[in-house]
């Protein structure tokens, strides 16, 4: 069964450094998402991406964040200058064209630790 994959599984970085989190969505899916989950808290929506542009973003997704789909398979989340509070699990998700991306399939996540 096709899966969403994410790399790396864990990343440790120094505050102020840039990180890029990578995701390979399921190949025929059209909608792509990033979420984060701070330890012990709920899963929070960051951004959705459709037709090569951001379709929705939350208040969390400020100018420090950006997303890209540089080729036909990868979907990346960049954090330009990491802060301690960016430490979280980051999940990528993708969705087929059922009712506009209603059912989402999640990757295993990247655990980011900012020191």
Partner 1 sequence: GDSVTQMEGPVTLSEEAFLTINCTYTATGYPSLFWYVQYPGEGLQLLLKATKADDKGSNKGFEATYRKETTSFHLEKGSVQVSDSAVYFCALSDRNGGSYIPTFGRGTSLIVHP
Displacement of CA 106 from its chain's centroid (Å): 10
In the complex, minimum distance from the CB of residue 78 to partner 1, in angstroms, rounded to a whole number: 20
- Decide if residue 39 touches partner 1 (CB under 8 A): no
Binder of partner 1 out of 19, 21, 26, 31 (CB under 8 A): 31
Cα–Cα distance list, 55 to 29, 72, 98, 108 (Å): 15, 18, 16, 23
Q: Quick count: other Cβ atoms within 10 Å of Cβ 15? A: 13
Q: Which of the stretches 11-19, 64-72, 78-86, 89-97 binds partner 1 when contact is defined by CB under 8 A?
A: 89-97
Specify the residue, 14 or 59, whose C-beta has the smaller distance to partner 1.
59
Q: Mask of contacts with partner 1, 42-61, x by CB under 8 A? A: xxxx--x-x----xx-----
- 75-79 and 10-13 as β-strands: parallel, antiparallel, unpaired? unpaired
């Amino acid at each position: 069964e096709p899966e969403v994959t994410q790399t790396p599984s864990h990343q440790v970085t120094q505050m102020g450094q840039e990180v890029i989190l990578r995701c390979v969505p399921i190949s025929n899916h059209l909608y792509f998402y990033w979420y984060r989950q701070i330890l012990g808290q709920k899963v929070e929506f960051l951004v959705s991406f459709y037709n090569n542009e951001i379709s929705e973003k939350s208040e969390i997704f400020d100018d420090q964040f950006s997303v890209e789909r540089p080729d036909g398979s990868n979907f990346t989340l960049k954090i330009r200058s990491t802060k301690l509070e960016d430490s979280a699990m980051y999940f990528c998700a993708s969705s087929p064209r059922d009712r506009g991306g209603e059912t989402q399939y999640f990757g295993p996540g990247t655990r980011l630790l900012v020191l």
